A and B are shown apart, each in its own frame.
Chain A
Amino acid sequence: MNTISTATYDMNRSSIFSTLYSLKAALPGLLAMFFIAIFSNNLVGVPNPFTLQNLFAWLDGVIGPLNHQSFFQIMNANFVWNPLLMGLIIGNLFGVPNAWKRGLSYIHLMMPLGIIMLAPHFMIGHASKLGFMPILICVAAMFITATVTLYTGRLLKLDDRQTSIIAGGLSTGDPHAGVILMPLIKAKGGQVVGASACVILFGIIAMLILPLVGPLVGIPDKYFGLAAVTTVGNGAQSLFAAFGQSYEAGRYATWFDVGRHVIMPAGFIYVFVVMFIRKLKNKGNTNVHATGDIKTFPIWLMVFIFFWALACLHLFRQPAAHAIFNMVQWDFSMAAAALGLSLPLREIAHDGIKCFAVTCIAGCIRMVLLLAAILLCVKTGLLPA
């Protein structure tokens, strides 16, 4: 089916803009993405109060804070997951009209577009005040987690595309990374959402376990904050765990979280490079699916790295960097709507137990290694009290 479609495209192509199709063909799908996006998130320039984001915020007010965190932040509700959820519900309840499908294919140009524009969001200089050792621990945590996850997935014979998505989400501490890795790994939508759901679920387990383990290990509150940031999950889950230990640990987790955040791109680039090299070394191996038919390093990823380098040199200042991020929110909201519409529920659940097992094993190994490393650094004075 794909080959027929590709051949038809090649025959009718006149320029790179042929992929945009005619306005008549693309408009219904684009409108579907647009309306799902603006009813999911509070996007800049749209004064619409009836959004899923506002509904979740209201429910958060009803539920009340949990260890100083809101419930839906812990569940990773954000500008990617809200439209994805809405698209998923609409697609599975009502189906997707054929007229939308040309427009929905714009997801494939919106992914590189949004990822490149994410670059100014990650300014490494923001972490410089943390000090050398905490930064080193954040960096080591990311690479070790990714490596352990990829190895665990291989041992349990999980599809390498799904393993890569778990590795990206777990190592960066942000399930968004799964969506960013999607076009690089050539993962199926169901694999991305399923793996990201496992990362979120493991984060909830880890945030409940860590405050119980903390007093037994004897890490001081200041560095318990660092341990929470590097071993739990997304930002809110890490803060939940740290505030569960003590108020001071929670405040320090807020301080150290920037160290995890600014190096995120290195996490997903690392996973892609490892899987890309693996594919090149295993040509003809039918068990190797990750990175699909990508033959060379993607140009758009090079452009992303170039912009990230400029961001690290502080070329993008505020409020320009903030304005660019607002555009990213628009872009990813619409792309996530298309992704949600594309997914039958059964695809997400496929290989769910094995996927969750890989996440839990890798996450637990990461937690043990990092607690030991941080304790060792505290005892030897590398992390001063």
Chain B
Amino acid sequence: MTTNKQTTDQDGFDFMANAGREEQDRDMIGILLASAITVVITACQYLGLL
């Protein structure tokens, strides 16, 4: 299997690889941020701030 030099560094870290516990953590941070941004912007409108 060839290594994509554009995505892999000298330590073997591939920034396009996404699996296991790391993927779950990334997903969870994405969910938290998306929910927070959506709720804050929507709340701003309901409170007359937007």
Q: Name A residues whose Cβ lies closer than 8 Å to a Cβ of B.
A: 1-2, 4-6, 9-10, 13, 16-20, 29, 91, 95-96, 98, 101-102, 104-105, 107-114, 116-117, 119-120, 183, 189, 292-293, 298-300, 303, 307, 315-317, 319-320, 323-324, 327, 338, 341-344, 347
- Cα A19 to Cα B32 in complex, Å, equals 14
Q: How far is the CB of A188 from chain B (nearest CB, A)?
A: 8
Q: Is the CB of A341 within 8 A of B6?
A: yes
Q: Is the CB of A101 within 8 A of B50?
A: no
Interface residues of B in 19-34 (CB under 8 A from A): 19-31, 33-34
- Cα A98 to Cα B45 in complex, Å, equals 43
Q: How far is the CB of A330 from chain B (nearest CB, A)?
A: 10
- The 8 Å CB contact of B3, one of A1, A13, A112, A292, is A1
Chain B residue, CB-CB nearest to A339: B16
- The 8 Å CB contact of B42, one of A20, A189, A298, A320, is A320
Number of interface residues of B (CB under 8 A): 38
| A-B pair number, CB within 8 angstroms | 140
**Chain B interface main SS type:** helix
Q: Is the CB of A342 within 8 A of B16?
A: yes
- Cα A144 to Cα B42 in complex, Å, equals 36
Q: Is the CB of A17 within 8 A of B16?
A: no
Q: Is the CB of A116 within 8 A of B29?
A: no
Chain B residue, CB-CB nearest to A298: B27
Q: How far is the CB of B46 from chain A (nearest CB, A)?
A: 8
Q: Is the CB of B42 within 8 A of A108?
A: no
Can you report 18 residue pairs joining A to B where beta carbons are below 8 Å apart? A1-B8, A9-B20, A13-B22, A17-B25, A18-B25, A19-B22, A20-B29, A98-B10, A101-B13, A104-B7, A113-B33, A116-B30, A298-B27, A316-B42, A319-B50, A320-B50, A324-B37, A344-B6
Across the interface, which residues of B come within 8 angstroms of A324, CB to CB?
37-38, 41-42
Across the interface, which residues of B come within 8 angstroms of A20, CB to CB?
29
Across the interface, which residues of A come within 8 angstroms of B30, CB to CB?
109-113, 116, 300
